[in-house]
Structures are given as C-alpha cells and as structure tokens.
Amino acid sequence: MTPIEQADVWLFRLLNLRLVHPAADDLMIYLTTISLSWPVIFLAVVFILLRRGKSAFLIISVALLAIGMADVVASGFLKPLVQRIRPCFALEHVRLLVNQPNSYSFASSHAANSAAVATVIWIFFHRGRLVEKVFTCIMIMDALAISWSRVYVGVHYPGDVLAGMLIGICSALLIYLLLTWVMKNIMHTRPSLRA
C-alpha cells in the first residue's frame, strides 16, 4: 500500500469504527439510501419553482445535466478504470450498515451527484435573499452529510468520497459554463438565470 492508501484506510477506520454512535446509524442509512431521499428532492424542487418561476426549469435542467455528467465520470468511467475494491469487501472488521452490491469503489457516485446538485444550487442562489442563502447552506450540508454517510456505512473510502465531490463540483461548473456560452454565442440571448 502507498502512503496515500494507508492514510485513506486509517481515516476510513476512524470514521467507520471510532467516530460512530448507534443513535446516528439510522440517520446515516437514511442519508445514504437514494430511494429514501425523495422528500428532500421534492422540497428542493418546490423551493426552486417558488423562488424562480419559469427560470426554475432551466435551473433544474442544469442540475440534471450536472448529475448525469458526474455519474458518467464516477460510475461509467472511473470505477471500471480504477477497479478499487470497496472497503466492506477489502478490509476486516468493517461496520457495514447497508446491503452493497459487489461494484467498484472509486469514485463515489453518491458524493459526485449530491455535490453536483449542491454546486448548482450555490451558483444560482448564494447571492440571493436570506432564505435563498439558507437554502444554499442546507443543500451544501446535505451533500456533505450524504458523502460522509458513504464512509460511515462502510461502502467507500474517504478518498472515494473526496474524488466524487470534486467530480460533482467540476461537472456542475462545466455544465453551467457551457450553458452560458451557448446562450450568449449561439442563441444570442443573455441568460435570465439570475445566478
């Protein structure tokens, strides 16, 4: 193992075995299970619709495109390329709190997707009114919590999560920059996104 891999394993054991509490287990399972997170997604979509009206559909489209890009890079490209075995299969004495298919670990698509959404929200809402700034902070904290949960439940190393977050941030920024370039140079209109 390289020093970086050793540090990653050490940090994984710290977050998965030591910095844990039974009272937090259910919360972490909730955060890490996509099928349970629909209320958060629904409330976020409703908030965007109420705050931005017609331009909300463009913002939601940017978020969906960013998620798509992040997921392709993390799951479609890096996982088959790197082929890193998940810690729950590679290490002994792992607290595995969820059923996990035998897929590869690097990079975390959960972290990539949630970071992509949080970045899109930040782009469009961080300079708004107080309620929009609070919404931005909540979505960023949600993305961080989802990313942390992947280590907590035993299915990703911290390095997988950090790489996923970076992929999500870069995907969101790239999609936004491409969209604004297209709107300014091809459609010859200025974006009314109020970013």
Write down how long the chain is: 195
The residue among 172, 150, 145, 173 whose CA lies nearest residue 161 is 150
Task: Provide the 10 A C-beta neighbour count for residue 36.
Answer: 11
Q: How far apart are CA 91 and CA 149, in angstroms?
A: 18
pLDDT in the model for residue 1:
74
Q: Is the pTM of this model over 0.85?
A: yes
Region for residue 103 given its phi and psi (left: phi exceeds 0; alpha: psi -120 to 50; beta: otherwise) = beta
Task: Extract the tokens encoding 133.
Answer: 């700034």
Q: Which are the contacts of 173, defined by CB distance < 8 A and separation ≥ 6?
A: 119, 123
pLDDT at site 191: 53
- Please name the amino acid found at residue 180: T
* Three-state helix/strand/coil letters over 109-159: HHHHHHHHHHHHHHHHHCCCCHHHHHHHHHHHHHHHHHHHHHHHCCCCCHH
| pLDDT reported for residue 65 | 97
How do the pLDDT tens digits run along the chain, 195 residues long?
Answer: 789 999 999 999 999 999 999 999 999 999 999 888 888 899 999 999 999 998 999 999 999 999 999 999 999 999 999 999 999 999 999 999 998 778 899 999 999 999 999 999 999 999 989 999 999 999 999 999 999 999 999 999 999 999 999 999 999 999 999 998 888 887 765 555 555
